[in-house]
Amino acid sequence: MSETKYESKISSAPCSAQQIYRVLSNLQNLDRVKDLIPQDKIQELETAPDYVRMKVDGLGQKITIAIVDRIENDTVKFGVEGVPMQANLWIQLKELSPVDTRIKLTVKADIPMMFKFMIEKKLQQGLDQAADMLAQFPYAQWQ
CATH code: domain of residue 108? 3.30.530.20
pLDDT band at residue 74 using 50, 70 and 90 as cut-offs: very high
**Measured distance CA(17)–CA(118) in Å, rounded:** 35
> What mean pLDDT is predicted for residues 111-133?
87
Q: What is the pLDDT of residues 3-40, one digit of tens each?
A: 889 999 999 999 999 999 999 999 999 888 888 777 87
3-state secondary structure of 45: strand
pLDDT at 1 over 60: no
Residue 30 CB partners (closer than 8 Å, separation 6+):
37, 45, 47, 52
Query: What is the extent of the structural domain holding 75?
Result: 2-142
**What integer is the mean pLDDT of 63-72?**
96
> Given pLDDT bands bounded at 50, 70 and 90, which one contains residue 111?
confident
Helices (H) and strands (E) in the chain, counts: 2, 8
CA distance 52 to 45: 7
The tally of domains found in the chain comes to 1
